[in-house]
Structure 1
Amino acid sequence: MDEDGPGSRGPYRHRQPSGKEPLAARSPLRLRAILSAVALVGTAAAAVVFAVAGQRGDDDGAWVAAGICAAVAVIAAIDLIVIARRARS
């Protein structure tokens, strides 16, 4: 087994981890919340548009697209709930 990996005192030129990384880590929750909110609004609107298009014609593809968009909107809503819980703790 090679002993020159990260955390060893091998020939790496970068500095060794100091152990303070988790304390100084920045959370990507704000960006994740923004992306989830945009996905929720966009896919909910797309689901409505596809559902209206499916209602007007006899194209089953519009109903499939509306279902997929609705599923993605539900996933985005669940992600926003998870983000809110993590932000509180």
Structure 2
Amino acid sequence: MQARARHNRPRTREEYARGLPDYHDPTGGFGGAAPAYSALTLRIVLASLAVLLCVGGAILFAYYDAWWGTVFLGVVGLGSLVDLGWVIHRKRRGEPG
């Protein structure tokens, strides 16, 4: 019961600076596996690249009047932009990676 109460309390800045073990891993702690930490800097670089490529591709599709490609890349680019914002938020609050 104490372990459950520990997960429901607000996290401190020191805990974020140390990293949150098994942050998105529902099977974390089973089988003796080491805790996983997210590579936030790599995710920032990849999400930025995805946003740039999607915007560039959407502009090309719009130039050639292919509305389906423009809409598709716009939606994917918007998703990448939301991901980029969330990862930057996590990085700024002090999580390692």
TM-score (norm 1): 0.63
What residue ranges of structure 2 are gaps of 5+ in the alignment? 1-29
What residue ranges of structure 1 are gaps of 5+ in the alignment? 7-15, 55-61
Aligned residue pair count: 64
| Greater C-alpha Rg | 1
Question: Displacement, 1:27?
Answer: 3.0
**Deviation per residue, 1:30-71 (Å, 9 max, x gap):** 1111110110000100000001100xxxxxxx1101100011
Q: Sequence identity, in percent?
A: 28
2:47 — aligned with what?
36
For residues 47 and 82 of structure 2, the distance between their equivalents in structure 1, rounded to whole angstroms, comes to 9
For residues 59 and 39 of structure 2, the distance between their equivalents in structure 1, rounded to whole angstroms, comes to 30
TM-score (norm 2): 0.58
1:83 — aligned with what?
87
